[in-house]
Structure formats: structure tokens, C-alpha cells
């Protein structure tokens, strides 16, 4: 099942992020700081107490765009459980949540960044409707170029447990 992450899950999320994003920088440092920011929400795939993956979403005001945005900060699945549909279920949940609550806040799309070296991730997001957004979106801590991708929201779903 997918459930909201709580403070008790923060160390686990940071540990898995450190593992799956080890090429990009030290997520063990940055993730705990993100998770306590206002507007940051986490979800976990939890199989009867066995945590298998996480997604971290942020709502914040982009001062360049002068509007609130929804940004998928990170998504990761325990390596032993990858390619079993868990990442897609988490991503689908995030899309559904943003589609449900975003329009009331002027949010029209869900965005994210992925490293230019992460071709698997880029292809995976492409399959879920994300497309690259032009522009310079900065660098990851270890120097990889950040590719920004975005996808429009879905029509408002009838029921979603946020």
C-alpha cells in the first residue's frame, strides 16, 4: 500500500536516497532538511511493514515564475524491489494528488529534475508523460546537469487519499 510518510520514516527515506542517488551527491545530508520544510510531503510503499520505496513532493512558490509549483524532489525504490511496478505506483499517486489539489492553487503541471546521466530515469519519466523543459536548470552537487521535465495534470480524479 501507499501511505503518507511520517517523521519516523525520515531516516529510512534519507538512507535509501543516499543509496539510490549516491552518484549525485550526499542525500543523507540534504534529504532530512527537505523533509521538514513546509509544503514537503512524502509517501511510502509499505508492504505490511516492509518499506520498499518513497516519493517526496514539494509545493512552493517559484519566485521566477511568480506562482506556486509542484516539484517531485525525489523518488526511489529499494534496489531489490525495482522493476516490480512500485516506482510507477508511487509516481501515479503523486500525479493524482497534485491533480486533485493543484488547480485550486494555480498549479498546472508536475515538474521534476533528473540528472543528464540518468537515461533510465529520463526514459521512465517520458513513459509517464513528462517532457523536457528548455533552459539552464543548474547542476547537482557532483556536477551532473539537471534536466527539468514536466507533465500536465490529469483531469480531477473522483477520490484520492492525500
Ligand X SMILES: CC(C)(COP(=O)(O)OP(=O)(O)OC[C@H]1O[C@@H](n2cnc3c(N)ncnc32)[C@H](O)[C@@H]1OP(=O)(O)O)[C@@H](O)C(=O)NCCC(=O)NCCS
Q: Is 29 exposed, middle or buried (0-12, 13-18, 19+ CB in 10 A)?
A: exposed
User: Could you say which of 97, 114, 149, 150 contacts ligand X (CB under 6 A)?
Assistant: 114
By beta-carbon proximity to ligand X, the closer residue of 5 and 87 is 87
- Distance of closest approach, residue 71 Cβ to ligand X, in angstroms: 12
By beta-carbon proximity to ligand X, the closer residue of 94 and 106 is 94
Distance between CA 89 and CA 53 in Å, rounded?
10
Mask of contacts with ligand X, 59-98, x by CB under 6 A?
----------------xxx----xxxxxxx----------
User: Could you say which of 2, 124, 129, 154 contacts ligand X (CB under 6 A)?
Assistant: 124
- Distance of closest approach, residue 52 Cβ to ligand X, in angstroms: 8
By beta-carbon proximity to ligand X, the closer residue of 120 and 162 is 120
Q: With contacts defined by CB under 6 A, how many residues of the chain interact with ligand X?
A: 16
| By the rule CB under 6 A, 118 interacts with ligand X | yes
- Hey, how many other C-beta atoms are within 10 angstroms of the C-beta on 48? 5
Going by C-alpha positions, the residue among 77, 72, 73 that lies closest to residue 45 is: 77
By beta-carbon proximity to ligand X, the closer residue of 42 and 86 is 86
Radius of gyration of the chain (CA): 15
Cβ atoms 140, 20 nearer than 8 A: no
- Residues with Cβ < 8 Å from 47, sequence gap 6 or more? 1
Amino acid at each position: 500500500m501507499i501511505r503518507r510518510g511520517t517523521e519516523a520514516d525520515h531516516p529510512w527515506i534519507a538512507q535509501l536516497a543516499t543509496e539510490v542517488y549516491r552518484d549525485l551527491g550526499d542525500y543523507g545530508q540534504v534529504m532530512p532538511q527537505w523533509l521538514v520544510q513546509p509544503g514537503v510531503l512524502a509517501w511510502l510503499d509499505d508492504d505490511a511493514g516492509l518499506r520498499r520505496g518513497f516519493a517526496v513532493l514539494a509545493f512552493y512558490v517559484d519566485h521566477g515564475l511568480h506562482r506556486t509549483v509542484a516539484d517531485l524532489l525525489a523518488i526511489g525504490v529499494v534496489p531489490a524491489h525495482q522493476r516490480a511496478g512500485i516506482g510507477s505506483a508511487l509516481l501515479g499517486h503523486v500525479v493524482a494528488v497534485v491533480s486533485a489539489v493543484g488547480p485550486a492553487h494555480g498549479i498546472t503541471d508536475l515538474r521534476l529534475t533528473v540528472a543528464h546521466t540518468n537515461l533510465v530515469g529520463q526514459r521512465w519519466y517520458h513513459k509517464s508523460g513528462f517532457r523536457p523543459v528548455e533552459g539552464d536548470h543548474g547542476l547537482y552537487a557532483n556536477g551532473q546537469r539537471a534536466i527539468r521535465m514536466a507533465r500536465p495534470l490529469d483531469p480531477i480524479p473522483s477520490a484520492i487519499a492525500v
